[in-house]
Amino acid sequence: MRAIAAIPYVPGRARGALRFGAAHASTDAISVVPAAEIPRLAVRSAGIIAVDAAPLSHVMIRLFGAGIPTVILSRKEAGGLPEGREVWLDGLTGTISDSAEGLADKAPPPPPFGVPVTTADGVAVSLRASVASREAAARARANGATSIGLVRSEYLEPPDGRVPDTAYFRAAFGELCEAAWPLPVTVRLVDAAGDKCPAWLGQQPDVLRVLGLQGSRLFDTEPTRSVVLAQVTALGTIAAAFDLSILVPFITSIDELQRWRDLILAALPAPLPIGTMAETPAALLTLPELLAAGDLVGVGCNDLMQCLFAADRDLAAVAHLMDPYAPAVYRLLRLAAGTAAQHLDRVHLCGLLPQLPGVMPLLIGLGFRAFSVEPVLIPWLAATVRTLDLPSAVELAGDVCAAPDARAVRELIRLPAAAPWALGGWAATA
């Protein structure tokens, strides 16, 4: 079998026989599954080939937490794979091959946890972790995270589907914080959306629509209101033992942030730092005001790109429209960074964007210094940061913002101009 260049996704190497469909998955096999079947994988496969998947979708992003080497193929390419064939899969380079020759090296050693990584000329960069479980928090610490920058709390839910209460969240948050100890932990309050709907909320297709009622827009309705109050109360009870902060999801105006900040503070026994996720162009363009009204801001790049390109992040048919190498992405981020330049130490970028090939130097060049990323990627990103110098990153970012199109951006950062948008590996190139 000729080597196949897929879109890399979760780094790591795996070997196993190709098995098609979630029902035939096994621990020693490479599972070839449509994206819709990924939630039905009942066993931990050696590796995953996701077919016709949307890279920014919630279903795909959860694979990072499992740490299973994963690549993405089109249905046509996957149709040519021979069932039962023993193959090597490399999630870092996207290679599917008969042999291990030419595959990526193992992950570099993790940096020391709890401290920033520095560029070659001494600029401190904070590589925080996005997590959704106690196990992921432990991996973040082991992989050298500066802190837990984002807890996706909507994925913390009782296995029986009941509405979680204060006691449940006190235990869940406590276990997660203990696993990450002594790292600071920032919790995003429950952020329900169409493709990440907790069992206790039930399926509500008429409500949980793209750009409809999601995130904090559900906080006034039951049972979400009770769950959010339970989360806040639980965080208040364990705050004396851990370094905690809170983020309110999907805020688009200062009035919204001020309202929820006041309500959260009223429910806490003692104040905690409270901020917001900026996930729309409207929120990002009011970054100075958000920082004035709150303590911190997490820029949700996945939803930001969904809004910017008017393309549902969970829909594979429009995934190609959300090109992370489009100059418009960096022009918008440059504008936001410029308006909040003196306070960017309270801003961190979340989502896949900082983790894509060649992107970290651009974001550092634009002025950002803190990133919340998947724990499994921290060693590679740390190695990339150490090779950078700030003047070169600033110059590159300027060139990218002035580029006419995504193809020109790929050329500037030395990615194959005609490659799929994630092709080329997760290790950034300078």
Q: What pLDDT digit, counting tens, does each position of 342-370 carry?
A: 899 999 999 999 998 899 999 999 999 99
CATH 3.50.30.10 fits 4-97, yes or no: yes
- The answer to whether the 4-97 and 117-412 domains have the same CATH topology is no
The C-alpha atoms of residue 396 and residue 390 are separated, in whole angstroms, by 10
Q: Are 324 and 421 in contact (CB under 8 A)?
A: yes
Q: What is the pLDDT of residue 206?
A: 59
Closest CA to 216 of 263, 268, 184, 169: 263
Question: pLDDT tens for residues 288-318?
Answer: 999 999 999 999 999 999 999 988 887 878 8
For domain 117-412, the CATH class is alpha beta
Domain boundaries, the chain: 4-97, 117-412
Whether the per-residue pLDDT at 249 is higher than 90: the answer is yes
Question: Among the listed ranges 31-45, 329-343, 414-428, which one has the minimum average pLDDT value?
Answer: 414-428
The Cβ of residue 181 has, within 10 Å, a number of other Cβ atoms equal to 14
Nearby residues of 99 by Cβ (< 8 Å), 6 or more positions away: 88
Instruction: Quote the crossing angle between the two packed helices 166-180 and 134-142, to the nearest 10°.
Output: 20
Q: Which helix (H) or strand (E) holds 247?
A: strand 244-248
